């Protein structure tokens, strides 16, 4: 059987879908599984052993607009898929797959695309499920058993070697207590104040003799430099220096990751890192980290509705209420050792 998975658009959500992909592979071990994914999340799936092919859905390039979607539909038709599974709720993608002639199309019912699915599941109430369970609910329809809810990010040996060399060049040794702080995030209200990260990093160095490394994308370089400039000690800066796969390899090497709700937080969870997750406007029961490492979530009750999707909130009290002492208290409870 040839299976097409229509993936979601964001790094964390794609990771949340990997337990469902694994369940599909276990149910249909001899099937061919392809994922249709936008370019920015392709790397999340590239080394996944459950995926045979990644089809890049370049909606801003080759497949842009109506005629671009028709071109994609023609390409998909040539691949002769038997089954399409929609993790994404997009009408336009459902239409594209419908026009490609895939005979069975499974996903959650939405009013706009109801006629484009011939196997539609009732949509769960909004924010009633963890995102992992949301995707697992779709493959359960196909008779998949659920053995494992942990999501996974697979790296290559080259990624591991890159990080080994990077840490060695920064004077970090295997016996060091290495902590990674991720200060970025895809929208402002989810971020912890940068002065808190500076204070936390200094105290980890002073009280735990830790080596502190700041992760982040190229867009986070300015933020990380500002945090570093406010510190009494010098951290290691990895922001802007790693790919997503190399970042995953870094998280696998550290003893602890501290991050707000973000893609990197979920990459860390996916490789089994020990985590302290800082949650404010988003809901831990819906998008909290799921992984094999020790995980602590800090979220303060400030009488606001959670989840809150007000990206223009200029108060940010939910994140400001989390103190450096709160985080260090969780570090102590974890009692992480080499």
Mean pLDDT of 6-32: 96
* Residue 274 confidence (pLDDT): 96
Per-residue pLDDT reduced to its tens digit, 253-309: 999 999 999 999 999 999 999 999 999 999 999 999 999 999 999 999 888 888 888
Distance from C-alpha of 62 to C-alpha of 51, rounded to nearest angstrom: 23
- pLDDT value, residue 296: 96
Q: How confident is the model over 87-107, as a mean pLDDT?
A: 95
What residue has token string 């400039």? 229
Cα separation, 61 vs 68, in Å, equals 8
**Domain range annotation of the chain:** 2-140, 157-334
Asked if pLDDT for residue 1 goes beyond 70, the answer is yes
Q: Note the CATH architecture for domain 2-140.
A: 3-Layer(aba) Sandwich (3.40)
Residue 146: predicted pLDDT: 86
- pLDDT at 338 (0 to 100): 46
Q: Provide the whole-model pTM.
A: 0.93
Q: What is the mean pLDDT of residues 14-37?
A: 97
Quote the strand ranges of the chain, DSSP E.
Answer: 2-6, 32-37, 53-56, 83-86, 104-108, 119-121, 178-182, 211-215, 236-237, 256-260, 275-279, 295-299
Nearest to 277 by CA among 301, 294, 292, 260: 260
How much is the pLDDT for 305? 83
Nearest to residue 264, comparing CAs of 207, 223, 235, 234? 223
At 12, phi and psi to the nearest 5? -60, -40
Q: What was the pLDDT predicted at 337? A: 54
Cα–Cα distance measured from residue 237 to residue 222, given in angstroms and rounded to the nearest whole number: 11
Residue 11, pLDDT score: 93
Quick check: 176 pLDDT over 80?
yes
CB 141 within 8 A of CB 106: yes
Q: Is 193 exposed, middle or buried (0-12, 13-18, 19+ CB in 10 A)?
A: middle
Q: What is the pLDDT of residue 244?
A: 95
Average pLDDT on 147-170 reads: 95
- Percent of residues, the chain, with pLDDT higher than 70: 99
Q: Find the mean pLDDT for residues 243-249.
A: 96
User: The domain 157-334: what is its CATH number?
Assistant: 3.40.50.2000
Average pLDDT, the chain: 94
Cα–Cα dist 229/79, whole Å: 53
């Amino acid at each position: 059987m040839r299976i097409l998975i229509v993936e979601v658009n964001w790094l964390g959500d794609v990771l949340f879908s990997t337990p469902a992909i694994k369940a599909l592979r276990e149910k249909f071990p001899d099937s061919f599984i392809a994922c249709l994914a936008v370019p920015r999340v392709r790397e999340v799936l590239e080394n996944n052993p459950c995926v045979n092919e990644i089809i890049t859905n370049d909606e801003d390039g080759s497949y842009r607009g109506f005629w671009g979607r028709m071109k994609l539909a023609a390409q998909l038709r040539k691949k002769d898929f038997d089954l399409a599974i929609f993790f994404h709720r997009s009408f336009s993608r459902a239409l594209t797959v419908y026009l490609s002639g895939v005979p069975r199309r499974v996903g959650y019912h939405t009013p706009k695309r109801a006629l484009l699915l011939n196997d539609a599941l009732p949509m769960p109430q909004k924010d009633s499920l963890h995102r992992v369970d949301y995707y697992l609910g779709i493959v359960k329809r196909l008779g998949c058993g659920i053995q494992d809810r942990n999501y996974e990010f697979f790296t290559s040996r080259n990624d591991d070697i890159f990080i080994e060399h990077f840490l060695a060049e920064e004077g970090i040794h295997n016996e060091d207590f290495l902590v990674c702080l991720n200060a970025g995030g895809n929208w402002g209200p989810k971020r912890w104040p940068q002065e808190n990260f500076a204070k936390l990093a200094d105290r980890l160095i002073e009280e735990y003799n830790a080596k502190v490394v700041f992760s982040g994308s190229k867009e986070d370089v300015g933020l990380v430099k500002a945090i570093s400039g406010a510190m009494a000690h010098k951290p290691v800066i990895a922001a802007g220096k790693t790919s997503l796969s190399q970042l995953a390899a870094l998280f696998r090497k550290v003893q602890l990751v501290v991050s707000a709700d973000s893609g990197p937080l979920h990459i860390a969870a996916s490789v089994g890192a020990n985590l302290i997750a800082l949650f404010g406007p988003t809901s831990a029961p819906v998008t909290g980290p799921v992984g094999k490492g020790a995980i602590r979530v800090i979220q303060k009750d400030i009488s606001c509705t959670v989840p809150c999707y007000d990206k223009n909130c200029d108060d940010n009290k939910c994140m400001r209420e989390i103190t450096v002492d709160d985080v260090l208290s969780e570090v102590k409870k974890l009692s992480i050792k080499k």
